[in-house]
A = this chain, B = another copy of it.
Amino acid sequence: MKDETRKFQKFIQKSNLLWSIEREIITNQVFDNHFHFTADDLFIQLNEKGRKISRATVYRTLELLEKSSMVSKIQLASGKHFYEHIFGHKHHDHLICQKCGRMIEFHCEDIEQWQEKISTENNFKMAGHCLKIYGICADCMKKKSKNKPK
């Protein structure tokens, strides 16, 4: 079992929930995806591996993974939800190419600090944030090709 999966198992047990083979399989798959993926990506990957796990269980497990803070959900302007695992990765935000859909990760401590400051000024108890910068990536600027976005 992957380290990450074991950590999630501990979370499940601490939360007085039960560990199951489905949760193990899904979690392993989540941590095999080293970039952004959708719930359906995951469902299809599992299917291709011959794992018959229902869509409902995939969604339920992703929700738990989110609660455990090991995975985070990203909403794109297109309305699609992507996930990414964050355990072992430090917090980052995204540059998103409107041409090809490419996502570039970045982290800016100053921006993080300013957000805290603004929240405090507004007597707002910040729990999280979502920053996405939209535009055209370097490749697409060069190519000017019309790759369809994801």
Contact = CB atoms under 8 A, between A and B. Distances in A.
Interface of A: 73, 75, 77, 79, 81, 95, 97-98, 104, 106, 108, 110-111, 114-115, 118-119, 122-138, 141
User: How many copies of this chain does the complex contain?
Assistant: 2
A49 to B, nearest CB: 29
A108 B117 CA distance: 10
B133 A118 contact: yes
26 contacts: A73-B77, A75-B75, A77-B130, A79-B81, A95-B118, A95-B119, A95-B126, A106-B118, A108-B114, A115-B131, A119-B133, A119-B135, A122-B137, A123-B138, A123-B141, A126-B134, A127-B134, A127-B135, A128-B133, A128-B134, A129-B132, A129-B133, A129-B134, A130-B131, A130-B134, A131-B132
A84 to B, nearest CB: 15
Given A115-B111, A127-B98, A129-B131, A122 B136 contact: no
Given A75-B79, A138-B123, A133 B108 contact: no
Interface of A: prevailing SS:
strand
Contacts of A123: 137-138, 141
B106 A122 contact: yes
A131 B131 contact: yes
A97 B123 CA distance: 11
Contacts of A136: 124-125, 127
